[in-house]
Structure 1
């Protein structure tokens, strides 16, 4: 069995998610140093008194959904979606054979599903974590007289948490040379205020335009026109956001095209930027290292304000005082033909493909409102020294004593100085 490495996990619970799955059971698992994955199981429409799960004799199989703040590195949307659907099918098949199956059996089925998709891979989580989440969903509550959940934890890590999610240390001289080649070509834009929906559309459209060779590499600093919650590509909105509270607070919920976790946005309290570059900028390095490459300029710029800024985990940026922000990333292959948003876009014969990398930082934070709107599970902070999501974040306002406009001006000045020297 999986050893008791992380303590007693949270129990599965029933909920309705607004997506056609009701009377469901959900389990979560946070990879130390990585991301959270959740598995939701719907037993199906078994009649009253019948077994909760189907067997191989033709009864309906359970429905399974995998979600979370993990990432998928894939050649295309189709490959990413196919990987997740195959993982869900593998879990459902194992459960249909034996509703009391153990985590090791589920993990073996998930690993087999993953091997069938060489053009897509999970980042920040793995088969073991998916299996633990699934097994937790199937664990009976304490009132049933059994208490098997305590043993459903991840195996001990062979190395540091960062190694588990694939971080390969790349010499900083290599990062410096890549940026030296990029700065002269980079458009630096302080964008106009946009609605949350517009921001999501612009972000993906500009990335696809760079991928098609129709836009030069660009660094865009956003301005938000309205508050919102931005959820990651693979997250379940009802499990991440108290939607009724968000509506009452006048906060819209939008979904971005990248993975990662939910971000609470208020225009005056948030600083966001996106980097759109050809794929050759990140060629030859793994996904985790590419986060450090893309954010190298930001770390150096913030250090210029006297902050001891460093990378934390897979995709966070932090100082000695706490987390400053989080990044997300997605690769777009060079298109064969383009027709995005209903309009054809030109495609260069040597279209380069693109990587979209964006970061949201907390300039300030309304902690009370954020905790009312976001639903942060205990599992998500299970490997953090500070268990509160609010206490983990230390805004730039308190760290620098500067206004938001001054911080943004400093970031723009740093970028323009680098571009002029290149």
Structure 2
């Protein structure tokens, strides 16, 4: 039976900046915790401790990333458990969040419908900031000025993970050096076009990053209810073990199913 947002007691996690590999591991650990009933459905706002490229579960590292350029710029490459495309992350330029929910919330929905549902609250938040944004199937959030962000989703053992990375600001030149796919798409148009395709929230709102995040959290709380929480010690320990055994290893980074 399908549930609604209000059938669940939503929790908020917004911790200090963490390493890219730990973020990948936390997504698995918290999805599994919600699936097993050890954690209520949760919204997690990410803070990045260092720059990264996050590739999707089914992407080839060699095809997506110029590893020499990434190493030159001190950018760590990590692989997440969900599908979708590569994301270029610079701390302070990025707003990333994850939703961990029982699959009952998206019961009977197509993937497109579930993406639209899970993004609906953030579209309302952006509207309150004066941005007319909409969901662009399958996994983009866009506006009249350009793309704002991209989503990815996976389902594991009775829980759905839905996470979104939005551009608050953009370093298009560095992104094109590191991401091969972006370079191929835009090589004939240059970095000016890259910046045009993605229109960051800083230029659209004129607000500090923290103010945009605060609006997002306030909107979610008003629409669906949201209690402040934190990472529990056992969840952090589980995630740290996943970093050692999986997300921080070359076999995981290189593996394409």
**Interval containing the TM-score (normalised by the shorter chain):** 0.7 to 0.9
Asked if 1:312 corresponds to 2:101, the answer is: no
- 1:180 matched residue in structure 2: 6
SS in 1 for 2:17: strand
Structure 1 equivalent of residue 69 of structure 2: 245
Q: State yes or no: 1:371 paired with 2:176.
A: yes
Are residue 221 (structure 1) and residue 45 (structure 2) matched?
Answer: yes
Q: How far did 1:180 drift?
A: 3.3
1:375, CA displacement in angstroms?
0.8
SS at match of 1:416: helix
Structure 2 unpaired stretches of 5+: 187-191, 227-257
Deviation at 1:415, TM superposition (A): 2.0
Higher helix share: 2
78, 81, 87: which one pairs with 1:263?
87
* Counterpart Cα distance in 1 of 2:224 and 2:116: 19
Q: Distance in 2 between matches of 1:201 and 1:420?
A: 26
Give the RMSD, CA atoms, in angstroms.
2.2
Deviations 1:304-339 (A, max 9, x none): 111111011310000110000000000012xxxxxx
Structure 1 residue runs without a partner (length 5+)? 1-174, 334-352, 382-386
**What SS does the corresponding residue of 1:224 show, helix, strand or coil?**
coil
Q: Measure, in 2, the Cα distance between the counterparts of 1:415 and 1:287.
A: 22
In structure 2, C-alpha distance between the alignment counterparts of 1:181 and 1:301, rounded to whole Å: 21
Pair 1:213–1:380, CA change in 2 (3 A): farther
Q: If the length of structure 1 is used for normalisation, what is the TM-score?
A: 0.50
**Does residue 233 of the first structure (1) align with residue 38 of the second (2)?**
no
The offset of 1:420, in angstroms, is 4.6
* Aligned mates of 1:372, 1:312 — CA distance in 2: 27
One of 332, 342, 360 as aligned partner of 2:165: 360
- SS of the equivalent of 1:192 reads coil
Q: Does structure 2 retain, via aligned residues, the 8 Å contact 1:188–1:415?
A: no
Q: More relative contact order in 1 or in 2 (CA 8 Å, sep 6+)? A: 2
**2:207 aligned with 1:402, yes or no?**
yes
Equivalent positions of 1:67-146 (< 5 A) are none
Query: 1: distance between equivalents of 2:183 and 2:212?
Result: 33
Change beyond 3 A, Cα 1:241–1:390? farther
1:418 paired to 2:223: yes
SS in 1 for 2:95: strand
Structure 1 contact 208–354 (Cα < 8 Å) conserved = yes
Offset, 1:196: 0.1
- Specify whether residues 380 and 330 from structure 1 end up closer, same or farther in structure 2 by C-alpha distance, changes over 3 A only: farther
Deviation of the 1:409 alpha carbon: 1.2
Equivalent residue, structure 2, for 1:286:
110
Aligned partner of 2:121 among 279, 282, 297: 297
- Contact 2:101–2:160 (CA<8 Å) still a contact in 1? yes
Shift of 1:247: 0.1
Deviations 1:92-136 (A, max 9, x none): xxxxxxxxxxxxxxxxxxxxxxxxxxxxxxxxxxxxxxxxxxxxx
Calculate the TM-score normalised by the size of structure 2: 0.81
Deviation at 1:389, TM superposition (A): 4.3
Relative distance call for 1:245 and 1:378 in structure 2 (3 A) is closer
Pick closer, same or farther for the CA change 1:264–1:379 going to 2, 3 Å. closer
- Structure 1 runs of 4+ off > 6 angstroms? none
Q: CA deviation at 1:395?
A: 0.2
Give the secondary structure class of the aligned counterpart of 1:223: coil
Partner of 1:153: none
